[in-house]
């Protein structure tokens, strides 16, 4: 599992011109990619790491300040462009495998106490955000 975590002042994700998820204030945007062998251990680790990651202002975590989190699925995080000009997506898990894992990460964040907004899995989404800092961290299980 791979995640790009960004500290933001605001963010929203839209599908077909309609906002489907947004942050009511400063928080985190998480772009989440799932690979073939991700399961419960990776879900638990990733959710705990995101919730406790001290990248908000004054070295605080989302758990310390109850910051909201917007999670957007992004299989392209597993794109491999080392050869040629066209990336391959072989390392990205297919939708039937990755969608439940994505949902499990969101549910685990909520179980930990987070307010979670979501994109729409598999949809063509438009993500708008105001990166704060900018601060961006890549996590990988």
Task: Determine how many CB atoms are found less than 10 A away from the CB of residue 110.
Answer: 13
pLDDT tens track for 58-116: 999 999 999 999 999 999 999 999 999 999 999 999 999 999 999 999 999 999 999 99
| 24 band by pLDDT with thresholds 50, 70 and 90 | confident
Give the catalytic positions in this structure: 74-76
Rounded-to-10 torsion of CA 140, 11, 92, 50? 20
Mean pLDDT in residue range 4-17: 98
pLDDT tens track for 113-135: 999 999 999 999 999 999 999 99
Longest dimension (CA), the chain: 45
- DSSP state at residue 1: -
Q: Domain ranges for the chain, please list them.
A: 2-140
- What is the per-residue pLDDT for 116? 98
Of 92, 6, 106, 94, the C-alpha closest to 46 is 106
Per CATH, the number for 2-140 is: 3.50.80.10
């Amino acid at each position: 599992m791979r995640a790009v975590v960004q500290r933001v002042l605001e963010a929203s994700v839209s599908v077909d011109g309609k906002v489907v998820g947004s942050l009511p204030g400063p928080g985190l945007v998480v772009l989440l990619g799932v690979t073939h062998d991700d399961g419960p251990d990776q879900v638990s680790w990733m959710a705990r790491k995101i919730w406790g990651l001290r990248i908000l202002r004054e070295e605080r975590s989302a758990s310390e300040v109850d910051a909201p989190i917007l999670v957007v699925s992004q299989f392209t995080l597993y794109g491999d462009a080392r050869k040629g000009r066209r990336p391959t997506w072989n390392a990205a898990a297919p939708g039937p495998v990755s969608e439940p894992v994505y949902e499990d990460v969101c549910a685990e964040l909520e179980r930990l106490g987070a307010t979670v907004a979501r994109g729409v899995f598999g949809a063509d989404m438009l993500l708008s955000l105001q990166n704060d800092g900018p601060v961006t961290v890549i996590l990988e299980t």
